[in-house]
Structure formats: C-alpha cells, structure tokens
Amino acid sequence: MTEPIVSVRNLVKHFPVRSRGVLRRRTGDVHAVCDVSFDIFAHETLGLVGESGCGKTTTGRVLLNLEPATAGSVHYRGRDLVPLSRAQMRPLRKELQIVFQDPYASLDPRMTVTELIAEPLRIHGTFHDRTQIHDLLRTVGLDAEHGNRYAHEFSGGQRQRIGVARALALRPKVLVLDEPLSALDVSVQAGVVNLLEDLQDELGLSYLFISHDLSVVRHIADRVAVMYLGRIVETAPADQLFREAAHPYTQALISAIPVPDPRKERTRRRIILSGDVPSPITPPTGCRFRTRCPKYATQLTDPERRRCAEETPTLTDRGQGHQTACHYAEALTLI
Amino acid sequence: MTLLSVENLTVGFPTEDGQLRAVRGVSYEVNRGESVGIVGESGSGKSVTSLAIMGLLPRNAQVTGSVKLLGEELVGRTDKDLSQIRGRRIAMIFQDPLTSLNPVYTVGDQIAEAVRAHHGVSKHDALRRATDLLDIVGIPNPKLRARNYPHEMSGGMRQRIVIAIAMANNPDLIIADEPTTALDVTVQAQVLEALEAARAETGAALVLITHDLGVIAGHTDRVCVMYAGKLVETGTVDEIFYGPRMPYTLGLLGSLPRIDESGRQRLTPITGAPPSLLNLPPGCPFSPRCPMTRDRCDDVEPVLTATTGPDHRAACHFHTELAEAKAEDVF
Ligand SMILES: Nc1ncnc2c1ncn2[C@@H]1O[C@H](COP(=O)(O)OP(=O)(O)OP(=O)(O)O)[C@@H](O)[C@H]1O
Ligand SMILES: Nc1ncnc2c1ncn2[C@@H]1O[C@H](COP(=O)(O)OP(=O)(O)OP(=O)(O)O)[C@@H](O)[C@H]1O
Ligand code: SF4
Ligand SMILES: [Mg+2]
Ligand SMILES: [Mg+2]
C-alpha cells in the first residue's frame, strides 16, 4: 500500500478554561480533540464531518501546526510537524494551505485581487511577474481583468474562488478546506465544488474537507471521518459509510439529512435524537455519545449499558477500511 | 377553504439610489391546514413578503396589493388591529428564537401566559398545559425545563419553546422563516418534528420559508419558487421536484449534491448572480443567467402561466421546452 501524505496519530488538543476575575485560575479544560488518528493519501479527499463544536476546525488547525497540539503527532511526508517551531514550519507552509469558511471576512478589503494573490508569493519570495497571477485567476475560473478590482466588488462564490487562488499560489500539496461552501447560495456552491474537483484532478492535491453538510461530503470525499465531541466515532470509504453506517451517531446524522426528493422524504426513516450535545469540559465517561444514543436508551440491557458508561469504545475494524467506535455497532441502511 | 390569500403584493423601499423593488407582485393562496413552502436565493424577497403579510415591515416600506385572512383585509390596518390578529390567528417563527422570547421570564411562564390569554384557565392549569406542550415539542424533563430561562437553553431548544408558545396560541397559520437555518442537522430534525407536532395538535396551516430544498421536499404540500421579488414557479411539491418548468428551478435542483446518490456526477451550477433590485432591466430577471434565453426574454417579462395543470404555473416564455429536460442538458 502507498504511504499516506499526512498521518495523524493520537492527536489531542485541550484549551484551558479559566475562572473569571483577576486570578484567572485554570479550572478545567475544553477537550476539543481527543485521541484522533487518520491518514490522508495523495490525490485524495478525506471528509471530516460532525456537528458544531465537535472539533473539526481545531483538528484542521492543529494538523497545520497553526495551533500547538497537546499531545500526538502529525507526520507530513514522514516528518512530524508537532515539535516544529514557526521558523522550522515556514518552508513547509507552502505545501500545506488552508481555505477558510467566510469569503467575506478572510480577504483584506484594502487590497486588489492581484495584491491578495501575490501576497503569499511575496512572503515566500517566489513572486516573479503578473503572468503568475493571471494563470492563477484563470485556474479558478476568473478573468485577468478581475485582478484590478477589490474583493468587495465580487459575489460570494467569486470571493471563495479568490481564496482558493490565494491558497493555490504556493503550489500546495495539501489543502485544508474549512467549510468552504457554507457562506454560499446552493446554485453557487456547485461551481466551487466542481472547481475543487477539477483542481484536484489537474494538480493532484490532497484535501481535508471539513463540513457539516453530509450531502456535499458524499459528493466530494473519497473517505469520511465522523466526529462527535472531539473523537472520531466512525470512518469509512464514502459510499460504504452512507450505505452501511454502523455507529448510532452516524446513523442519526444520515437519517436527519433532508433529501430533495419528496417521495423518498415521505417514506424515510428518521432517527430523532433527544437532548443536547454535552459540554466538552466534562464529557461523559465511557462512550461520549451515550447520553443521546438511541441504542443505549432503548435497545440495550443494563449490563450492556454499564459497558457503554465505563469503557471507552475504540475504533474497531469492520473490513474494507471501515472502522466504528461503538461496543454494539450494527450496520444500517438509511438512504 | 382559503385561509390566506395574497394578491399582487408589492413592497418597495426608498433608498439613496432609488426605489428598491423587493417584492414585485406576488400572489398566492394557503388553504386551511396545508403546508406551503417558499424557496429562493438569498435576497429574493422571501422574508420581506412574509413580513408584509404580518404587517411587520419598517415604516418606510411602501406596500401595495391585498392580503386577506379568512376574507378579512390586512393591508392598511392599524398596528393595534394587526397585533391582535397576529396573536390570535397567525404565529411567526423566526430564524433567531431569541427575538421572540422574553429574557426575564422562565419558558414555562411564557408558555403558560399564552395558554391563559386564550383559554380562561387557572394559573396552575396553564402551567400544567405548558409542561404538556414542552413534552410535545420533545423537550426532555419538561417539568424541570419549564423553570429555565431562555439563555439557559440551546438554540434548538429555544426554537422548540417558540413553537410551544405558538401552539398555546392555537393559530390558524404558522409562518416559519428559516426556522432551522442556524442549527445542526440532528437538531434541525428535532425542530421540524416539533413543528409537525404543532400542526397536528392545532390543525394550523404552515408557510415554510427556507433555502433548503430537502426540507421543502419533506414538509410541504405545495411550493412557491421566488426569484428577484417574484414567484417564478408554483405547483405541488411533486410537480416542482419531478417536472420543473422554469429553468431557474431546474438549475437549483441540478446544483444540489445528493446524499442519496454515490459518485462524482458533475453538478450543474447556475453561473452569475441574481440582479440588483434597484434598476431591474425589462424582461425576464433570470435572463442573464439562463442558458435558454433569447431576444424575447430581454424584451418581455414572462408572467406565471399554467403548464402541466392549472396549479402548476411557471414564469418562462419557453416552459414547454422543459418537458422531460434534465439539468445537465440545459445548463
Ligand atoms: N481558542 C479556543 N479556546 C477555547 N476553546 C476553544 C478554542 N477554539 C475552540 N474551542 C472549543 O473547542 C471545541 C471545538 O471547536 P471547533 O471550532 O474545533 O469545532 P468545529 O467542529 O469546527 O465547530 P463548527 O462546526 O461550529 O465550526 C468547542 O467546544 C470550542 O468551543
Ligand atoms: N428594510 C429594508 N430596507 C431596504 N431594503 C431592504 C430592507 N429589507 C430587505 N431589503 C432588501 O429587500 C430584498 C429582499 O430581502 P429579503 O430579506 O426578503 O430576502 P430573502 O429572500 O429573505 O433572503 P435570505 O434568504 O437571505 O433571508 C433584498 O435585496 C434586501 O436587501
Ligand atoms: S457504545 Fe453504547 S452508547 Fe456508545 S454509541 Fe455504542 S451503543 Fe451507543
Ligand atoms: Mg469549525
Ligand atoms: Mg430571509
């Protein structure tokens, strides 16, 4: 088997919680990312999904060493990034880029599009002339004359293209895309999705595609990892995950996604979760999903439940790259 | 029986750059107990239309046309009249539940208050009813939760409190404007379930505004597609999803990635952006983005006309060409 280009092992990220007042004593930790492991291969898209606050952005930022890890390792082409200083990271930055969610906030309004795209090139001393910028604009489907305008003169979809052009300027190998579509109207999202797919095919990029939109993820990702409260609870090739989800959380997630097909919607089975996501400061013992798990609530015996409460389920192989972290995992077809 | 009838509604806002025509002649009806979905891109006029129906627009808004609730005209009524009608007959659910909740009262008290306003019951009975309603909208431990203040609850729970209050008011019509847009999908499913429970309990009709075609597919009987301040297609939910007759609708459906389909079929984006509502050129507002456009489209604005049936209507000069059309062939 080929070597992964990025290999994340047992990654942990805690944020301190401090008391109010002058002393600001450390009173606990937000367990944002807990023992997360995954690989990204060349020319592949790994989708990272899960609900708000489950730790997707933090995982992406720690992976790129924009945020120090509490524990664990991130190997990029064989080299661990976690212990590297800013200066040591610098030459690698070119190869590891990020595209942010909000195309409105992430572009400096005082710079023209040409300046925006040239900026990363200048920082890394690889800016030669304007044809580089024109090529990049063309790559993301914009015209050369767009270069003299300011970001606010563009629509959301065009701004997101500018963000992608900026990230591509340094010819990266790995792109972390953090909710790159969520600020866009659906008719516009489709164009950016197509663009990302084309760029991957042409340039052989690897993507970590972070999103809470499972429909987009099924479309774009080769493999998917599902996060809940800081942990990966299930991972599988995309089609397999949607066909045979085996973790109760993944199942609830899939069943909750509305499908734009009235006949299917009328007959679909919905798994409605009760309650809210617990606080990541005091996550439940054992399985973190147990406080909302329909299986735990209605299908298990007391001794079985005790196991969910006492023993943390770990990712267990179900074959064909499908792993599930549930003591009582059972495949279910929901779509 | 017709509950709500909107006729040729227009809304304009005076701005420094001239009149902004946010709603340009919208007509539709809602029958008792049915659910009507309104979809459309950001800025197409969905919210302004429903705010106009409720009489909740800012004072500078210029409204013409007619809005009748059970035959009674609402346009031109005083604020006092309207607020009575709203409380009694129409409930509105907004994207941000905090706009509808009072921060200084417990949620139980707020629901009980609505119960008492409509049924002359004792305080104690009203509180009991409030607890029942919390249970119906799927709040765990309703007795305990009734004593919480809004800020002690999550966004999804707050939205269900708003729905419980709407239920206590026993309205004829619920207008929900993007009620789940800010929420995670599993929470969205809880809120939509609560909304269905509220309809089952009260028999209220629903106008559901959303940009999510999946939500429309699962929760509405009929659909209105809005574009640049007008309805450009209306029909039953099946007519709209399985046989759209307006290129914009076809394009929207084609641009959606599907969770129920595998593989990388190419999506068909609609290029460009909606027009400015300040200086709309003549002709079809979708023309600059429409792959089927020809001269006539830029000269004459198409009106809603009957297509496959009297109630399936589309605003496109060439709607007959869309019979059996696929998005990937047209776009
Ligand atoms: N700098 C920080 N300090 C303290 N807590 C943080 C910090 N950044 C993130 N968190 C917390 O860590 C957890 C994970 O946050 P993260 O932003 O990674 O989630 P996410 O999955 O990206 O959510 P969303 O879908 O809302 O973007 C949350 O509980 C969040 O409040
Ligand atoms: N008070 C106002 N003054 C001036 N223009 C307004 C006002 N309210 C809304 N508009 C404009 O009216 C148009 C329609 O807005 P509306 O809020 O109805 O859109 P929408 O379809 O609800 O969009 P979204 O999906 O983003 O909620 C927009 O161009 C908007 O900028
Ligand atoms: S381990 Fe137990 S609580 Fe956790 S998902 Fe599986 S059945 Fe549910
Ligand atoms: Mg995030
Ligand atoms: Mg709106």
Query: pLDDT digits over A28-61, tens only?
Result: 899 999 999 999 999 999 999 999 999 999 999 9
Closest listed residue to residue A63, CA positions, set A53, A71, A73, A54: A73
Of A190, A262, A272, the CB nearest to B241: A262
How confident is the model at residue A276, as a pLDDT?
Answer: 84
Task: Test B260 with A261 for CB contact under 8 angstroms.
Answer: yes
How confident is the model at residue B119, as a pLDDT?
Answer: 80
| Domains in chain B, number | 2
Which residues are registered as beta bridge partners of B28?
Answer: B6
Residues B238 and B205 in one domain: no
Residue A186 CB partners (closer than 8 Å, separation 6+): B211, B213, B252, B255, B256
Of B140, B186, B218, the CB nearest to A252: B186
Say if residues B237 and B220 touch (Cβ distance below 8 Å). yes
Task: Give the three-class secondary structure for A144.
Answer: helix
Measured CA distances, A209 to A40, A150, A174, A186, A221 (Å):
11, 27, 11, 17, 7
Of A212, A258, A260, the CB nearest to B184: A212
Cβ of residue B212 closer than 8 Å to a chain A Cβ: yes
Domain end residue (candidates: B169, B186, B220):
B220
pLDDT at residue A168 is higher than 80: yes
Residues B115 and B97 in one domain: yes
Residues B309 and B291 in one domain: yes
Residues B251 and B192 in one domain: no
Taking the model in full, what pTM does it have?
0.93
Residues B242 and B198 in one domain: no
Domain end residue (candidates: B188, B220, B252):
B220
Which amino acid, residue B295? Answer: D
User: How many residues are listed for chain B in this entry?
Assistant: 331
- Is the ipTM here above 0.90? yes
Cβ of residue A189 closer than 8 Å to a chain B Cβ: yes
Which residues are registered as beta bridge partners of B69?
Answer: B4, B72
Say if residues B209 and B41 touch (Cβ distance below 8 Å). no
B212 within ligand 2 shell (Cβ under 6 A): no
The Cβ of residue A199 has, within 10 Å, a number of other Cβ atoms equal to 18
Say if residues A160 and A184 touch (Cβ distance below 8 Å). yes
Residues B187 and B326 in one domain: no
Find the ligand nearest to A309 CA: 3
Question: Which of chain A's residues have a Cβ under 8 Å away from the Cβ of B184?
Answer: 51-52, 212
Question: Which of chain B's residues have a Cβ under 8 Å away from the Cβ of A189?
Answer: 255, 269
Predicted confidence (pLDDT) per residue in A291-301, tens digit:
999 999 999 99
- Cα distance between residue B169 and residue B163, in whole Å: 10
- Cα distance between residue B194 and residue B207, in whole Å: 15
Domain ranges for chain A, please list them: 243-335
Closest CA–CA distance from residue A315 to any residue of chain B (Å) = 23
Owning domain of residue B14: 2-220
Domain end residue (candidates: B220, B246, B275):
B220
The secondary structure of residue B319, as a DSSP letter, is: G
A308 within ligand 3 shell (Cβ under 6 A): yes
Predicted confidence (pLDDT) per residue in A172-209, tens digit:
999 999 998 887 888 888 888 998 999 999 999 999 99
CATH number for the domain that contains residue B54: 3.40.50.300
Say if residues B167 and B63 touch (Cβ distance below 8 Å). no
Nearest CA to ligand 2 atom 6: B13
Pairing between β-strand A206-211 and β-strand A174-178 as defined by DSSP bridges: parallel
B50 within ligand 2 shell (Cβ under 6 A): no
DSSP H or E stretch at residue B9: strand B2-15
Span of B31-40, B179-188, B208-217 with lowest mean pLDDT: B179-188
Residues B123 and B79 in one domain: yes
Phi then psi for residue B44, to 5 deg, are: -80, -10
Measured CA distances, B218 to A267, A270, A322, B27 (Å):
9, 11, 31, 24
Residues B181 and B232 in one domain: no
Residues B264 and B196 in one domain: no
